[in-house]
Structure 1
Amino acid sequence: MREYTVNQMKQLKENKYTLNVTKNKLYFTARFKEDFWIRYQAGDAPRKIIADLGYDTKLFQQKQIDSIVQRVKKQALSGDGFTEGENRTKRVPMKRINSNHEKEVSLDQMQHELLYLRQEVEFLKKIIKADNSKQKDG
C-alpha cells in the first residue's frame, strides 16, 4: 500500500476538495465526488478530471484512480447521495437546483453531454459503415 509523504499530505490538504488525508488514505469531499461524477458522465477522462480539480496526478497510481471511479460511481448510482469520510451513514444528499445560476450551469452540463453523445453516435455509425463495407469487399 502506498504511503503519502509529509509534503504530499500537506499538498493534498491544501486542495478544497480534500476532506482529510492520512499517510495511507485520502478522503474526498462530497462536492469533489459530485463534480467528478458530472464530468465523468460528460466523457472526461478520470485522470484529467482529477488534474482539473487541482490535484497533482503524479500522486495517484492507476489502481487508485480506478478505485475513485468505482466508489464515486457506486455512490452516485445508489440514489442516496455522496458520503464523506469514514462515517458511511453520513450522507450528503444530491444537490437540488435552486438558483438561476445553478440551473444555467446544469443546463450547460446537459448540453455538453448531449453534444458529446451525438459525436459518439456519429463515430459509431462510421465504424459500423466501414465494417459493413469491409465485409462486402472481402
Structure 2
Amino acid sequence: MKEYTAKQIKQLEKNPYVFKVTKHMIYYTAKFKEDFWVSYQAGNTPRKILEDFGFDLSIFRQKQIDSLVQHIKKQALAGEGFSEGANRKRRIPPKPTDIEELAAPQSIERMQNELLYLRQEVEFLKKIIIADNSRKKK
C-alpha cells in the first residue's frame, strides 16, 4: 500500500475536491465524484479529469486511478447518490425524478452527458461484435 509523504498530504489537502487525506488514503468529496462521473461519461480519460481538477498525476499510480474509477462507477450505478469521504450517510441525492427538476439546466446537461456516454458504449459494443464475427468467419 502506498504511503503519502507529508508534502503530498499538504498538497492534496489544498485541493477543494479532497475531503480528507491520511497516510494511506485519499477521501474525495461527493461533488468531486459527481463531477468526475459526468466528465468520464462525456469521454474524458481519468488522468485528464484528475489533471483538470487540479491533481498532480505523479502522486497516483495507475492502479489507484483504476480503483477510483471503479468506486465512482459503482456509486453512480447504485442510484443512491455519491458518498462524501468514508461516511456513507453524507450523500448527494440521486438524480431527480420530478418533472420540474428534470427540466433544470443541470439535469439536462447530465442527461446529455449520459446520452453521449451510452452512445459511445453502443459504438464500442458494435465494434466488439464485428470483430468477434469476423474472427468466427476465419
Please, what TM-score do these two structures have when normalized by structure 2? 0.74
* Matched residue, 1:32: 32
Q: Give the aligned residue type for 1:32.
A: F
Describe the shift of the 1:117–1:49 C-alpha distance in structure 2 as closer, same or farther (beyond 3 A). Answer: same
The percentage of aligned residue pairs carrying the same residue is: 60
1:120, CA displacement in angstroms? 8.3
Q: Deviations over 1:19-38 (max 9, x none)?
A: 00011100000000000000
1:122, CA displacement in angstroms? 7.9
RMSD: 3.3
* Matched residue, 1:69: 69
- Rg larger for: 1
Say yes or no: does 1:91 pair with 2:81: no
SS in 2 for 1:88: strand
* Matched residue, 2:4: 4
1:94, CA displacement in angstroms? 2.9
Asked which structure has the greater RCO (Cα within 8 Å, sep 6+), the reply is 2
* Matched residue, 1:132: none
1:63, CA displacement in angstroms? 0.2
Contact 1:46 1:69 in 2 (8 A): yes
Q: Distance in 2 between matches of 1:48 and 1:6?
A: 25
1:83, CA displacement in angstroms? 0.8
Q: Distance in 2 between matches of 1:53 and 1:85?
A: 17
Contact 2:38 2:113 in 1 (8 A): no
Q: Distance in 2 between matches of 1:5 and 1:30?
A: 25
Task: Mark the runs of 5 or more structure 2 residues left unpaired by the alignment.
Answer: 98-102, 131-138
Describe the shift of the 1:19–1:115 C-alpha distance in structure 2 as closer, same or farther (beyond 3 A). Answer: closer
Contact 2:30 2:85 in 1 (8 A): no
Aligned residues: 135
Describe the shift of the 1:84–1:66 C-alpha distance in structure 2 as closer, same or farther (beyond 3 A). Answer: same
SS in 2 for 1:20: strand
Please, what TM-score do these two structures have when normalized by structure 1? 0.74
